[in-house]
Amino acid sequence: MALCKHCDHQLSITQWTCTVCGVQLQGTFGQSRLGRLPGEWQDLAEQILLAGGNLKEVAEMQSISYPTLRKRVDSLIDVLKHLRQSDQQEIEGLLTEVESGRMRPEEASRRISEMNHGS
């Protein structure tokens, strides 16, 4: 997750550019939950995946004890659960907006998809 160097809040993606043809898309784009994790949690998740889920191997790679790594993994799980809970609340708000006619279903669907799967 990228943070503003001025105020330390999360930055949002507002432009995508094709590296081949230069076409640019502008708007506000969401990120998947994993993409919104702070960098150190993304690194840990990547190491766990690359080790095939073998926490003992990850602990050895990081030169830490297994119990220390287990605590970090538990913290990572807590962060992901919190993000998922926050997303669920936002989804409920989006659906309320659609039901009241204040948002088009297509817009809500796009935003929900970005939350769950990335842009």
Q: What is the pLDDT of residues 39-73, one digit of tens each?
A: 899 999 999 999 999 999 999 999 999 999 999 99
Closest CA to 111 of 100, 101, 93: 93
CA distances from residue 7 to 3, 37, 106 in whole angstroms, order as listed: 8, 18, 33
Would you kindly state where each structural domain of the chain is located, as residue ranges? 30-117
Rounded CA separation 74/119 (Å): 27
Rounded CA separation 114/35 (Å): 11
What are the residues facing 88 on neighbouring strands? none
**Average pLDDT along the chain:** 91
Examine the pLDDT at 8 and tell me if it is beyond 90.
no
The pTM of the full predicted model, rounded to 2 decimals, is 0.74
Contact partners, residue 95, CB within 8 Å, separation at least 6: 108
